[in-house]
Chain A
Amino acid sequence: MSRDKILNFSVDEMELVAKTLRRHIVKMIANAGSGHPGGSLSAVELVTALYFRFLRHDPANPHWSDRDRFVLSKGHAAPLLYAILAERGYFPVSELSTLRRLASRLQGHTDMTMIPGVEMSAGSLGQGLSFGLGMALAGRLDDRGYRVYVLLGDGECDEGQVWEAAMAAAHFKANNLTAIVDHNEQQLDGWNRDIMNLEPLPDKWRAFGWQVTEVDGHDLAQIMGALEAVQGIIGQPTVIIAHTVKGKGVSFMENNLEFHGRAPNSGELAKALAELA
């Protein structure tokens, strides 16, 4: 049967993984001709720390009942999830080039029925925290001891369902549920503060009954510290609000709204890959 396959990468090793993921992301999206680079690049370190240090899972047995679950609620960051699943051996890295193509398993937004390791079909924002809460409750009912991590976008927190789920998770004392907010402060139409102000975001989560930690979402040591700390919290769900930069790692994509949902052209791709060499 399945065994825990927790990796124990060092920060330096994970920095290299993060760079590899960023290369995959820009190449995949450029190759597809469409996609969302900004919000994929901003969450690279968050997902790297999970998949290379914390998640108990087994790529050879993706449906292992006791696995930790990673739910990508911000489904437009699918390229990031595909990149890390491929790097962890769920499917061949060569398949990444099929993103968004007809007959590819790598749908524009995640489809849990098509590819191993994808825990939820997402794309319509705001639904992942409820889904993750359902998984967390099932784990508790069956006494399985797994943890559910849900990655939310900050713009996604505009959706009312996120707060319905936040209220319910605290009410049900789902301490095996951890939300991670990729707080890059931008959404499609502009800065959060101009489109729909979220602040004070930590206070909102606290008021809903969550244990809140804030980290620099590109600092792997800080992320690991926060992920370590959530394991011991009893009686309430936990949220890590990760301050990130949209488009992180590619100078001309950083904080550039144009790259929320546009693919780099061939010249831009070459420049991006040179920066990520």
Chain B
Amino acid sequence: MTMISTRESYGRTLVELGRENKDIVVLDADLAKSTMTRYFAQEFPERFFDCGIAEQNMMGIAAGLAASGKTVFASTFSVFASCRCFDQLRVSIAQPHLNVKIVATHGGITVGEDGASHHAVEDLALVASLPGFTIIVPADAQEAAQAVRVAANTYGPFYIRCSRPASPAIYGSDYRFTLGKAVTLRSGHEATIVALGLMVAPALEAAKGLAEVGIDCRVLSMPTLKPLDEGAIGAAATETGAIVVAEEHFEHGGLGSAVARVVGQTHPVPLAFVAIKDTYAKSGKPDELLKKHGLTAGDIAQQVRQVVGRKNWVQY
């Protein structure tokens, strides 16, 4: 199987969009060779601005370009796009609701060896707190390409988190990404695994293993973190009675928190969270880090058994 990273897919898609729409402008902060905006830079040098190692200024320039009618893509690593630029995202982009598409690569801990300073584990929580931002975390290259295209054609601020490692295809060629909609990748009635980004593949693997021992799991891919597909989550709670959320992010403020907010208000069921606990990861190979921090298919399967076991704890 061909392995393609979501950032590679982003870079290629950006070139196609650049050919179709002359109002697309791309900014980077001295990471074009890593975020893959370099492809756009090569073909459209006049519409590409490398802002140097000054991410806050880049976000401000993006806002000014957007306020002048441009569709702006601004890229850097996820840690810098969110943590370093939070006030610029808030005041220059979110409050005026400008048409800036932040495509942040190197999300999560699969950045690997660069270590804690480069592990984006708070970005989804930060950006999700900003009104009006649409947040997408694609699960594979095809979904990334479609999400980037949807962002280009939908007015408003977007945060798209891409990943560093090449990853396997999740979807077939007939897949169509729909903004704000969950994707049921596997049906099931005993529990639901909700996952996004690189955690979708281990979620499917976990469900497959559980099926072999007679636990029938639904798998929901949740590419759009915000606005959240509350209907799909409500249905999962009602129909399967237990939910495990898997994400490459801190357990505070990401997909797990969002799912808990919906479930707690609509149809309370046992929940479990496969996420990074309240500590920073260290240097290591991506697979080693995922294992160390409990983000593997085995960890997800274990949490499914645990929530299924809790299904009858609470009597109403």
Chain A residues engaging chain B, CB cutoff 8 angstroms:
65, 111-113, 119-124, 127-139, 141-142, 160-161, 164-165, 167-168, 171-172
Contacts and interface: CB of A to CB of B under 8 A. Distances in A.
B92 A121 contact: yes
Contact of A132 (B47, B64, B66, B70): B64
A164 to B, nearest CB: 4
Given A65-B69, A132-B64, A112 B96 contact: yes
A29 B50 CA distance: 42
Given A142-B68, A164-B56, 9 more contacts: A120-B96, A134-B67, A134-B68, A138-B70, A139-B68, A161-B88, A165-B61, A168-B51, A168-B61
Nearest to A146: B68
Interface residues of B, number: 31
A172 B49 contact: yes
B60 interface: yes
Contact of A121 (B25, B51, B57, B96): B96
B20 interface: no
B126 to A, nearest CB: 16
A172 B51 CA distance: 9
A138 B64 contact: yes
B63 interface: yes
Interface string B57-79: 11111111111111010000000
Nearest to B47: A141
Contacts of A141: 25, 46-47, 70
- Chain A residues touching B, majority SS: helix
Contacts of A124: 87, 90-91
Contact of A165 (B25, B47, B60, B69): B60
Given A141-B46, A168-B54, A131 B95 contact: no
Contacts of B87: 124, 127
Contacts of A160: 56
- Chain B residues touching A, majority SS: helix
A164 B88 CA distance: 13
A126 to B, nearest CB: 8
11 contacts: A113-B97, A121-B91, A124-B90, A127-B60, A129-B60, A131-B63, A133-B64, A164-B56, A165-B57, A168-B54, A172-B49
B157 to A, nearest CB: 13
A137 B65 contact: yes
Contacts of A127: 60, 87-88, 91-92
Contact of A131 (B46, B54, B64): B64
Contact of B64 (A111, A122, A130, A167): A130
A130 B92 contact: yes
B309 interface: no
A161 B72 CA distance: 20
Nearest to B27: A134
Identify the 7 closest CB pairs spanning chains A and B, nearest first. Answer: A134-B64, A130-B60, A138-B68, A164-B57, A164-B54, A134-B61, A131-B64
Contacts of B95: 111, 113, 121
B131 interface: no
A131 B69 contact: no
- Which of B61, B63, B96 is most buried by chain A, counting CB atoms within 10 A of its CB? B61
A113 B64 contact: no
Contacts of A112: 67, 96
Interface string B270-300: 0000000000000000000000000000000
